[in-house]
Amino acid sequence: MFDRLELLIGNDIEKLKKANILLIGIGGVGGYVFECLIRSGIEHITVIDYDKFEITNLNRQILATKVVLNKNKTDIALERAKLINPNCYIKRVNMALKEENMKELISDSYDYIIDACDDVLTKISLIKYAKDYNLKLISCMGTANKKNPLLFKITNLEQTYNDPLAKKIRTSLPKRYLNTKVLWSSEVPLIKGNLGTFCAIPMTAGAIIAQYVINDLLKNL
């Protein structure tokens, strides 16, 4: 099944099969993260998302089709994963992650936490939680109102600019949290107010995040 991947990484694929990933949010960016992880041999993923698919998701979310409208995103993620790799185990948590339930939902059993949610307060709380409990986290910053996927990069939060979401989060956190790894774009947002989205943007963001996590897992596990 993963012959082409094994040509690149050899027996290290076993590290990926055993890795335990927590993915928060499985919409635009999160859906592509999920797709890349599954197709890279990751077999243990917990997905937290309370949302259902809507017609407005069709332009940018890989899991969204007309036949899944009004269905839970976590359920569709499980179906998609099993169609690709029947051996994978997907734990679904169909609720919103909040500061008050983080201790209940996030343990140190995860090798990586990927934040692809769109709630600012949750992002801030998650960065604090991961840092305080020494958990590996990468957080996705703003992807709306952008057209150039070549301007994405991964750095520490303190190095971001031209990203309104990153600025809001950065200014809400004490300095000791600003070395959190984030994906962001240096592109100046094209419009203000309404959040327009071009499909290649979340697609690219998700792929970059997934590959960063995979490379880090291969290096450290």
Domain around 93: 3-220
**pLDDT for res 192:** 76
Among residues 220, 219, 213, 218, which one has the least CA distance to residue 34?
213
Distance separating alpha carbons of residues 135 and 120, to the nearest angstrom:
19
**pLDDT for res 195:** 81
- Both tokens of 67, joined, read 């036949």
**pLDDT for res 185:** 97
Q: What is the mean pLDDT of the chain?
A: 96
Q: Place 220 in a pLDDT band, splitting at 50, 70 and 90.
A: confident
**For residue 138, is pLDDT > 90?**
yes
pLDDT in tens, 161-205: 999 999 999 999 999 999 999 999 999 998 777 788 899 999 999
**pLDDT for res 105:** 97
**pLDDT for res 140:** 98
Asked if residues 211 and 36 have their Cβ atoms less than 8 Å apart, the reply is yes
Distance separating alpha carbons of residues 166 and 168, to the nearest angstrom:
5
Entry pTM? 0.96
**pLDDT for res 1:** 87
Mean pLDDT for the stretch of residues 24-35: 98
CATH (domain of 204)? 3.40.50.720
Q: Structurally, how many domains does the chain consist of?
A: 1
Mind giving me the DSSP string for 128-143? Answer: HHHHHTT--EEEE---
